[in-house]
Protein backbone atom coordinates (compact mmCIF):
# COMPACT_ATOMS: atom_id res chain seq x y z
CA UNK A 1 0.00 0.00 0.00
CA UNK A 2 2.76 2.41 0.90
CA UNK A 3 4.41 2.07 -2.50
CA UNK A 4 1.14 2.64 -4.34
CA UNK A 5 0.36 5.72 -2.26
CA UNK A 6 3.84 7.18 -2.82
CA UNK A 7 3.72 6.63 -6.56
CA UNK A 8 0.18 7.94 -7.04
CA UNK A 9 0.16 10.92 -4.69
CA UNK A 10 3.84 11.88 -4.18
CA UNK A 11 3.07 12.78 -0.56
CA UNK A 12 4.91 15.26 1.63
CA UNK A 13 3.97 13.06 4.59
CA UNK A 14 2.90 9.44 4.70
CA UNK A 15 2.38 7.08 7.59
CA UNK A 16 0.90 3.62 7.09
CA UNK A 17 0.30 1.79 10.36
CA UNK A 18 -0.78 -1.83 10.63
CA UNK A 19 -3.19 -1.91 13.58
CA UNK A 20 -4.30 -5.49 13.04
CA UNK A 21 -2.97 -6.60 16.42
CA UNK A 22 -5.53 -4.30 18.06
CA UNK A 23 -8.36 -6.18 16.36
CA UNK A 24 -7.28 -9.78 16.91
CA UNK A 25 -10.35 -11.95 17.29
CA UNK A 26 -12.74 -9.32 15.90
CA UNK A 27 -14.80 -9.81 12.76
CA UNK A 28 -12.72 -9.37 9.62
CA UNK A 29 -9.40 -9.81 11.41
CA UNK A 30 -7.00 -12.25 9.78
CA UNK A 31 -5.08 -14.54 12.13
CA UNK A 32 -1.79 -13.52 10.47
CA UNK A 33 -2.55 -9.76 10.53
CA UNK A 34 -2.59 -7.12 7.79
CA UNK A 35 -6.34 -6.53 7.97
CA UNK A 36 -6.66 -3.18 9.79
CA UNK A 37 -4.65 -0.12 8.76
CA UNK A 38 -4.41 3.59 9.58
CA UNK A 39 -3.10 5.97 6.90
CA UNK A 40 -2.04 9.59 7.34
CA UNK A 41 -1.16 11.26 4.04
CA UNK A 42 -0.46 14.86 3.02
CA UNK A 43 -0.34 15.52 -0.72
CA UNK A 44 -0.87 18.37 -3.15
CA UNK A 45 -3.19 15.95 -4.99
CA UNK A 46 -5.81 16.60 -2.29
CA UNK A 47 -5.81 20.41 -2.63
CA UNK A 48 -9.29 21.71 -3.37
CA UNK A 49 -10.88 18.30 -2.79
CA UNK A 50 -13.51 17.49 -0.18
CA UNK A 51 -12.88 14.86 2.47
CA UNK A 52 -15.17 12.47 0.58
CA UNK A 53 -13.30 13.04 -2.69
CA UNK A 54 -9.97 12.42 -0.97
CA UNK A 55 -11.19 9.19 0.57
CA UNK A 56 -12.55 8.04 -2.78
CA UNK A 57 -9.19 8.75 -4.43
CA UNK A 58 -7.37 6.58 -1.88
CA UNK A 59 -10.04 3.86 -1.87
CA UNK A 60 -9.94 3.61 -5.67
CA UNK A 61 -6.16 3.32 -5.63
CA UNK A 62 -6.26 0.60 -2.95
CA UNK A 63 -9.35 -1.19 -4.32
CA UNK A 64 -7.52 -4.48 -4.77
CA UNK A 65 -6.21 -4.50 -1.19
CA UNK A 66 -9.61 -3.49 0.19
CA UNK A 67 -11.31 -6.23 -1.79
CA UNK A 68 -8.90 -9.01 -0.89
CA UNK A 69 -7.18 -8.43 2.41
CA UNK A 70 -7.88 -5.18 4.20
CA UNK A 71 -10.99 -5.21 6.37
CA UNK A 72 -10.72 -1.71 7.86
CA UNK A 73 -8.95 1.47 6.81
CA UNK A 74 -8.79 4.63 8.91
CA UNK A 75 -7.72 7.52 6.72
CA UNK A 76 -6.60 11.10 7.28
CA UNK A 77 -5.88 12.78 3.93
CA UNK A 78 -4.86 16.43 3.80
CA UNK A 79 -3.40 18.99 1.43
CA UNK A 80 -0.18 20.81 2.38
CA UNK A 81 -0.79 23.60 4.87
CA UNK A 82 -3.90 22.04 6.38
CA UNK A 83 -3.94 20.78 9.97
CA UNK A 84 -1.78 17.71 9.52
CA UNK A 85 -0.92 16.39 12.94
CA UNK A 86 -0.33 12.68 12.46
CA UNK A 87 -2.52 10.35 14.52
CA UNK A 88 -1.06 8.83 17.65
CA UNK A 89 0.06 5.23 17.48
CA UNK A 90 -1.78 3.23 20.17
Instruction: Give me the residue spans of the domains in the chain.
Output: 2-78
- Give pLDDT tens digits for 22-61: 655 555 544 555 677 899 999 999 999 999 999 999 999 9
Average pLDDT on 9-18 reads: 95
Rounded to two decimals, the pTM is: 0.78
- Helix intervals (H) in the chain: 2-9, 51-61, 63-68
Query: 2-78, superfamily in CATH?
Result: BolA-like (3.30.300.90)
pLDDT value at position 8?
A: 98
CA 78 to chain centre: 12
- For the chain, counts of helices (H) and of strands (E): 3, 3
Q: What is the CA radius of gyration of the chain?
A: 13
Nearest to 70 by CA among 7, 17, 15, 12: 17
Amino acid sequence: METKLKEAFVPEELTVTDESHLHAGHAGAHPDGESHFRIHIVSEAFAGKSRVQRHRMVNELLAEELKERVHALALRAAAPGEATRAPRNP
